[in-house]
Amino acid sequence: MGDQCTLRLVRELRQVEQSEQLAFTIYYEESNIRDIQALIIGPPGTPYELGFYEFSIRIPSDYPANPPVVKIRTTNRGRTRFGPNLYANGKVCLSILGTWHGSRGEQWSPAQGLESVLLSIQSLLSSNPYTLEPGFDDNERANDTENMEIYKSKIRHENLRLAVITPVEQAFQTATPPRRTAPRVGWESSTEEDSDHELQLDLDGFPIQSKFGDFCKRRFLWYFEFYQNAIEKGIADEARRQGTPFIQMPFEGYGNSMGGEWNYIALQARLLAVRDQVMEETNRWAIEGLTLVKEDAGIAVKLRGRHEQIAAEMNSSPQVIDLSLVDDNPFVWRLTYVGRNESKLEGGIIKIKIHISPRHPEEQPRVFIEPPLYHICVSKMGVLMYLPSHAEEIGQHIDGIINTLEEDNPPYNPLMTVNPEATALCWGSELDRRLYRRKLRASLEDS
């Protein structure tokens, strides 16, 4: 790869990392920037809603003359085709990638780049994926509304099973190589004997480790209520299909299909188990942290020093009442904050608990409001959704927390809300918005 091409790729990587686009994130090694892993979050309002879809992206040596080579990794080990253009073997059919013939304006050109590739892939996670099948314009199939609905139904189920629950379950598994098994193809059951807990394996039978484990755990906590609501709706809407096999679509074939069965009841149990695992891990950080304090470990010393610095800096802030260590543990901070004047939080005292991992910044803090506020960025579990400007610096997390709470009129972004009920009111009618403000004030008075 020539110097100019390398410089361009570096620039594109930085643009993606600095983008305000919340729907995808990337990972790469500085020593090999041509091998990129990407995670795209399924767009709200689609059957792929809030699922974690992983892709591998290989940049060719003659880039940007030729497009990247992209494979989808969320395939249930080669068993599941997640859409007409997302094959079970990993192939991504897309004109911009040269894997599907399209019109002249849809094909790759050197003017395009990494972000346009990610956005094009995201477009495949559509609200009606059945229509993306080539040849759909045929009148008979265009009126095939029954199959359209069935296809969306089974994608919704497998999105929760394979793109939400399974990635978080796998993030808790160790790197110990599992027993070697040949990948299975064709129709597969989604019952408990189906091993979707297993890690993805490479050609030598060793696990391919996802780089997005912590990302998925944090987003899982953020969006938990949405997932829970989706499963409850699935139990109600698909009661007649419970335990029955998925119906094969006309374009699906052996080895390249979405096989399985509707079983939302099993998904509900797994979802709650995963939530408990994430919460147990969060609480375990404090115990691990105290051990590191006793050992006088570098991260414990550093966090205590940063706490002292940040607490001193915030002494002049009228909004911060206190920033202390819980039980003198530098891995658990408590921020007591008072809402600023003329804001929706005015006069309210908010208690915020910040859990910091012993592996920070590889694992990012998890933040809880105690007791929970009725707020678009606070879940019923009290989980606060916020974004720091620099994830490596703990002080930027404090700033991100305060900025999120202080923002009175945020632009609508479904990926930046974690309370479905509060969200509907906040961006509803004028009466809805008034009710939202009343409920927020009531929760402040109870805090």
Show the CA angle centred on residue 12, arms to residues 217 and 3, nearest 5°. 130
DSSP state of 104: G
Half-sphere exposure of 177 (CA within 13 A, CB side): 9
Q: Check if the beta carbon of residue 383 is closer than 8 Å to that of residue 373.
A: no
- Rounded Cα distance between 167 and 216, Å, is 7
- Rounded Cα distance between 24 and 54, Å, is 10
Token match 């004997």: residue?
193
431 by Cβ neighbours in 10 Å (0-12 / 13-18 / 19+) ranks as exposed
Choice among 93, 216, 377, 426 that is catalytic: 93
Q: Which of 401, 49, 400 is nearest to 225 (CA)?
A: 49
| List of residues 6+ apart from 103 with CB closer than 8 A | 95
Q: Check if the beta carbon of residue 386 is closer than 8 Å to that of residue 237.
A: no
Q: Which of 364, 110, 376, 120 is nearest to 223 (CA)?
A: 376
Q: Check if the beta carbon of residue 50 is closer than 8 Å to that of residue 227.
A: yes
- Rounded Cα distance between 168 and 278, Å, is 9
Report CA Rg, the chain. 23
- Rounded Cα distance between 122 and 74, Å, is 14
Q: Check if the beta carbon of residue 218 is closer than 8 Å to that of residue 364.
A: yes
**What are the b/e assignments for 108-118, b being 16+ CB within 10 Å?**
beeebbbbebb
Q: Check if the beta carbon of residue 130 is closer than 8 Å to that of residue 136.
A: yes
Q: Is 93 a catalytic residue?
A: yes
Residue 51 one-letter amino acid: G
Show the CA angle centred on residue 396, arms to residues 391 and 399, nearest 5°. 135
- Rounded Cα distance between 278 and 368, Å, is 13
Q: Which of 353, 345, 290 is nearest to 319 (CA)?
A: 345
Q: Which of 419, 413, 427 is nearest to 20 (CA)?
A: 413
Q: Which of 124, 111, 119 is nearest to 21 (CA)?
A: 119
Tokens of 220: 């899982």
Task: Show which residues are catalytic.
Answer: 93
